[in-house]
Structure 1
Amino acid sequence: MSTDISGPAAATRPDPGAGAPKPSRFGLPTAIALVVGSVIGTGVFGLPAALAPFGPVSLVAFVLVTIGALALALAFGALSKRIAGSGGPYVYARDAFGEFAGFLNAWCYWITAWAGNAAIVVALVGYVEVFVNTEHKVGWSIVIALVGLWIPALVNLSGLRNMAVTQILFTVLKIVPLLFMATVGVFFVKSANFGAFNASGTSIWGAISAAAAIALFSYIGIETASVAAGRVRDPERNVGRATVLGTIGCAVIYILGTLTVFGTVPNAALRDTKAPFTDAANAIFGGQWAGQAIAIAAVVSGLGCLIGWTLIIGEMPMAAAKDNLFPKAFLRTRGDIPSFGIISSTVLASVLVVVSYTNFEQVFTTLVLLSVFTAVVPYLFSAAAQLFWLLVRGRKAEWPHLLRDGIISVLALVFSFWALAGSGYQAVYYGAVCLLLGVPLYIWLKAGRGEYGEAKS
């Protein structure tokens, strides 16, 4: 999605990092791997079981959600062509709506990244314990989780080249078995396993909406290439391509994979399982070896996801710190890697993991939901920024392009509101509290610059 014009904002906005050494960069394959690796973590391996109570109607919800995710991906692609540099939703909101909106987006997204990493690694532990600590002793579970958090941190701190190679390798290793299940598994589908088309006991639309509330969150991470745009070679071209191609790849795996599991595991059994892909693999190939192979793939998938998000938890606050909208400590680097952001955020994720394993499971669950809320807020602002730009600057474009881009932006905005509502009342309530907790930090930063009212030009 690209408009045929460029606004003054894109041309005149100063580069916060001007004069600094240029960061190491990676190409389109790594950018795609970053998107796919950040979107597909351990959650995909439990998704069919979560959707099973709704029946095959949830596949319709998945298609609708995919359309919204693609609209958002196209919006990110268009925004990245106009505004260069790392930061993604942060820089888009700041450019369109001012520094306070930019700060709130950076604050929200930073919370999403490290709290989400804690959630990913806790899910990862469950698959590791298929092979070790099978008795699920809490002390060893914490050790496994902390190792799972700090290995990706060390990979990123070792340099961008190592991160890029590892991310591509892990993405391939986790995509191959998922694609295998999503393609070969289709030939083993039996219609009797699907059960009732709408098994929810509610109306068709009610079932679609409820299933969408689960499926919506499976696409969080499609924006990661735009967040790390300053690391991508030829970002005006490659960020948009990586975002769209990565989203399409994830959609194929999600939809076909869920279809395969629905058709190979009886619906009644699928509702009670905690490892649906493992059960599907065992049903297709027989024995337990296939299920164990899927468990290995889940571990690899989780680590690959953590590697991508660990880069992001350093990039986003560093971009904001360059604009004096985050503490200057986030500018500290090791080489050109945002070391302070990575280390401090991994420490916070580690604390959250320990809390989750010490009789505060409900608190942890709430914080995970908050991470979803804080991801959707930057999505909404990004879609709004694109729509705002089209209304203000898009009048010079040819009307067919303007109409196309306007429809896509509205779809992305609707998708964001849908995701916001789907996160639940409790998550929205506490999410708003977390969002506003950033205000004192903003006051401190702005007061430290001796400013009142509008930012100095």
Structure 2
Amino acid sequence: MIGSIIGTGVFALPSALAPYGPISLVAFVAVTLGALALAVTFGALSRRVPASGGPYVYARAAFGEFAGFLNAWSYWITAWAGNAAIVVAWVGYVEVFVNTGHKTGISVLIALVGLWIPAAVNLTGARNTGAFQVITTVLKFVPLVFMATVGLLFIDPDNFGPFKASHQSALGAISAAAAIALFSYLGLEAASVVASRVREPGRNVPRATVYGTLVCAVIYILGTLAVLGTVSHTELGASTAPFTDAANNILGGTWAGDAVAVAAIVSGIGALNGWTMLCAEMPYAAARDGLFPAAFARLRGESGVPVFGIVASTVLASLITVFSYTRFEDVFTKIVLLSVLTAVIPYLFSAAAQLYWLLVRGREGLSRRRLARDVTVSALAMAFSYWSIQGSGYQTVYYGLFVLLLGLPVYVWLKRDRGEYGELAAPQPEAGEVRAPETPPAPHTSGRRRPHRPGAFRKNTLRHRD
């Protein structure tokens, strides 16, 4: 959980929030409360439906196949687009040591290497993926804990700059900053997505989801506060490695910043490793149900590696990374907002599914107090999801809706492939309308009599009875 949530997003986040000023910390606290509400909701949902797929299986169980498909499609976009955002921030820390001039071609090459190393690890199996994740999670914690503790002692209030640095209203600045800050918590549903690969999922998935989110929340808020207070506002806005700059300002020289950069590089690879697994797990769960192309459900080897899902998602992440580097100046923020939007849609459906089960189907056996508590938490998670969509901005919502609706032709193709065309109901006559009797079907006139099949009458009779 922690390995998937903490990637390079938090290491690049202070620079992305700098244009809003310290008011972004207010947004961070609000996002943390919303993330905790979502974590509790996912924990409860994982006990109801202890199967892999997370938001996909919850939406499908509550609202049917089409809702399940939309969630799987949206979350899959989040996974590979989020990998593109992670690798862009990762490149910023790699370039502390190489390509210090930030030449675009070399930056793209470094990003592609960063995407395909975790893909190669995932192709070796889930056991190696898990071991790699544990090692990188331990290493990434060191600089974050340092900034969240020791860094607080070196805060200079003059570095914060104006409380609200943007020209937006206070509420507008908080909403915009919150949409960016939410990227740091993407992955809080990771344990539920791979529930079938977890021992005792009914017990371990909820605990990992809630406690992992709490640990990340404490480190995030204190670490971001320390960076905002140890790097000047002007310098922070132009920084590609804000934690490195903060460490250099605290301890002097460059050795501390270099150590932080190494930890951030390890952290990024670890997060990409975890998210590459999620890129394959979500479509795998949907493909088993016939709601994603069948290629995603094919497994290779004894450990069952979903090769097509890993490769296809990494290829798409590579393409959007190259496109973003050549089209956008603020690459990280643009991809972050898109991946946040496509993640919030499954979050919204998941909160709605929990409310549906609580209010419509699951009231039996719950005390009024617990029912009121669970409904309140789910409603907060749902409201938070709506707020996050609003804060993403019009352009992001436009691009997000476009890529979401691209899934409709895929859904039509899948239904056709399964031979499920649906039946149109015959229109009912309006009051007073007299409708001519239907013409009986024409008799068989092919010139050949249909052969009689022994037992056909009995078979058809039994089928009708069934």
Separation (CA, whole Å) in 1 of partners of 2:403 and 2:13: 27
Q: Confirm whether residue 408 of structure 1 aligns to residue 377 of structure 2.
A: yes
2:368 paired with 1:399: yes
Q: Which amino acid in structure 1 is aligned with residue 111 of structure 2?
A: A
**Secondary structure of 1:395's match?**
coil
Which of 376, 385, 401 is matched with 1:432 structurally?
401
Whether contact under 8 Å (2:149, 2:222) holds in the other structure is: yes
Map 1:378-393 onto structure 2 (within 5 A). Answer: 378-393=346-361
How many Å apart are 1:156 and its aligned residue?
A: 1.1
What CA deviation, in whole Å up to 9, does each residue of 1:66-103 have, x standing for no partner?
01100000000000001021100000000000000000
For structure 2, the 5+ residue unaligned runs are 424-466
Q: Quick check: 2:247–2:257 contact (8 Å CA) kept in 1? A: yes
Q: Is the 8 A contact 2:38 2:378 kept in 1?
A: yes
Is the CA contact 1:394–1:402 (under 8 Å) kept in the aligned structure 2?
no
The residue type paired with residue 45 of structure 1 is F
1:46 aligns with 2:12: yes
CA RMSD of aligned residues (A): 2.0
Distance 1:135 1:61, change over 3 A: closer
Q: Which residue of 1 aligns with 2:239?
A: 273
Query: Displacement, 1:246?
Result: 1.3
Distance in 2 (CA, whole Å) between partners of 1:202 and 1:436 is: 31
Select the residue among 27, 30, 42 that pairs with 1:76. 42
Contact 1:355 1:364 in 2 (8 A): no
Is 2:324–2:331's contact at 8 Å kept on the other side of the alignment?
yes
Which secondary structure does the structure 2 equivalent of 1:46 belong to?
A: helix
Is the 2:180–2:337 Cα contact (8 Å) retained in structure 1? no
CA distance in 1, matches of 2:41, 2:105: 44
Deviation at 1:270, TM superposition (A): 2.8
CA contact (8 A) 1:77 1:243 kept: yes
Aligned pairs for 1:115-126 (under 5 A) are 115-126=81-92
| Deviation (angstroms), 1:297 | 1.6
**Aligned pair partner of 1:332 in 291, 294, 298:** 298
Residue 342, structure 1, aligned to residue 310, structure 2: yes
Change (3 A) 1:387 1:222: same
Find the partner of 1:361 among 315, 319, 328.
328
- Is 1:56 matched up with 2:22? yes
- SS of 1:291's equivalent? helix
Output aligned runs, 1:69-148, within 5 Å: 69-148=35-114
Alignment-mate amino acid for residue 66 of structure 1: T
Equivalent-residue separation in structure 1 for 2:316 and 2:49 (angstroms): 31
For 1:325, what is the secondary structure of its paired residue? coil
Map of 2:451 onto structure 1: none
Q: Which amino acid in 2 is paired with 1:52? A: A
Residue deviations 1:166-215 (CA, integer Å, cap 9, x gap): 10110111111111111111122233333444444655444433332322
Q: Which range is displaced more, 442-451 or 347-356?
A: 347-356
> Could you tell me the TM-score, scaled by structure 2's length?
0.85
Of 280, 299, 307, 2:273 maps to 307
Q: How far apart, in 2, do the equivalents of 1:360 and 1:124 lie?
A: 19
Which of 241, 249, 258 is the aligned partner of 2:224?
258
One-letter amino acid of the structure 1 residue matched with residue 206 of structure 2: G
* Consecutive unaligned residues in structure 1, runs of 5 or more: 1-34
Query: How big is each residue's C-alpha offset from its partner over 1:103-151, in whole Å with a ceiling of 9 and x where there is no partner?
Result: 0111111111112212222222222122123343444333322221111
Give the match's secondary structure for 2:363: helix
Q: Determine which structure has more spread, i.e. the larger CA radius of gyration.
A: 2
2:339 is aligned to 371
The answer to whether the Cα contact below 8 Å between 1:217 and 1:419 also exists between their aligned partners in 2 is no
* 1:446 maps to amino acid: K
User: Residues 246-276 of structure 1, C-alpha deviation per residue, up to 9 Å, x if partnerless?
Assistant: 1111111110001111222233433343322
| Deviations, residues 355-413 of structure 1 (Å, cap 9, x unaligned) | 334x3337977555332221111011001111111111232211000000000000100
1:80 partner amino acid: S
Alignment of 1:196-275 (within 5 A): 196-200=162-166, 203-275=169-241
**Residue type matched to 1:49 in 2?**
S
Kept in 2: contact 1:117–1:149 (CA 8 A) = yes
1:446 aligned residue (387, 403, 415): 415
CA 1:376/1:199 → structure 2, altered by over 3 Å: closer, same or farther? same
Contact 2:4–2:190 (Cα < 8 Å) also in 1: yes
Q: Which amino acid aligns with 1:69?
A: A
Write the letter of the residue equivalent to 1:230. S
Contact 1:38 1:308 in 2 (8 A): yes
Between the aligned partners of 2:187 and 2:196, the Cα distance in structure 1 is: 17
Q: Distance in 1 between the 2:393 and 2:32 partners?
A: 20
Distance 1:81 1:43, change over 3 A: same
Quick one: structure 1 residues 443 and 40, their matched pair in 2 at CA, closer, same or farther if it must change by over 3 Å?
Answer: same
Percentage of identical aligned residues? 68
Q: 1:221 to 1:453 in 2, by over 3 A?
A: same
Name the CA distance, whole Å, in 2 between partners of 1:65 and 1:368: 15
Between the aligned partners of 2:153 and 2:331, the Cα distance in structure 1 is: 40
What residue in structure 2 maps to residue 11 of structure 1? none
Q: Are the equivalent residues in 1 in contact too, given 2:55–2:72 (CA < 8 A)?
A: yes
Describe how 1:158-173 pairs up with structure 2 within 5 A. Answer: 158-173=124-139
Give the whole-Å Cα distance in 2 for the aligned partners of 1:253 and 1:106. 30
- Residues 55 and 129 (structure 1), Cα distance of their counterparts in 2 relative to 1, 3 Å cut: closer
